[in-house]
Amino acid sequence: MLENPRIRIENIQTLSDDWYTLKKTTFAYQRNDGRWQTQSRETYDRGNGAVILLYNRQTKNVILTRQFRFPAYVNGLADGLLIEACAGLLEENNAEECIKKETEEETGYRIEQVRKVFEAYMSPGSVTEKLYFFVAEYAPSSKATAGGGDINDGEDIEVLEIPLDQALQMIEQGEIADGKTIMLLQYAKLHGLVD
């Protein structure tokens, strides 16, 4: 943790260390008026990740994936299938190497050149994860495998090739509801990646 004189950690309790790590931290926080206030927060640490939008200038298409997401299912997504940009956890890799590996594993496309466009905390109220956002141009010739993900990790991924304008309409219609994907699709439109 970084040093901040307005924060004094008092207690850290590990609540779960199964899939990822859930901790409860009690700390004193110095408010803007100078008073100290004791607070308690739970943080879920799953590591940092990377996400990429593959685009093709000639066809004006983007590559997305569709896969089952249990948390979305239990929160009301009828079939649990989310349409997303390709993403993965960094584990021991740097963000660029991670996203190249994930791209081939999930989509089947082998991408040599990626461009980082920004970083963002996706749910900073409780999740520690920071995402590194990338874009890369793809061509039919860069398709190296069928993709589909790693069966040992429980992945069963469908690869979708969709016109960018259709993907943007799918956001409005509620068919694309994943935050990181919405951010990258809007980035692609705002920055004319397929114009």
Give per-residue pLDDT as tens, 126-168.
Answer: 999 999 999 999 999 999 999 999 898 889 999 999 999 999 9
pTM value > 0.95: no
Domain ranges of the chain: 7-45, 49-190
| Closest residue by Cα to residue 6 from 42, 33, 41 | 33
Give the pLDDT score at 22.
96
Is the model's pLDDT at 110 over the cut of 90?
Answer: yes
Give the pLDDT score at 88.
95
Contact status, residue 91 vs residue 98, Cβ threshold 8 Å: yes
What are 48-98's pLDDT values in tens digits? 999 999 999 999 999 999 999 999 999 999 999 999 999 999 987 799 999
Is the model's pLDDT at 1 over the cut of 70?
Answer: no
Domain with residues 49-190, CATH architecture: Alpha-Beta Complex (3.90)
Give the pLDDT score at 19.
84
Going by their DSSP bridges, the two strands 21-30 and 7-17 should be labelled as: antiparallel
What are 2-34's pLDDT values in tens digits? 689 999 999 999 999 998 999 999 999 999 999
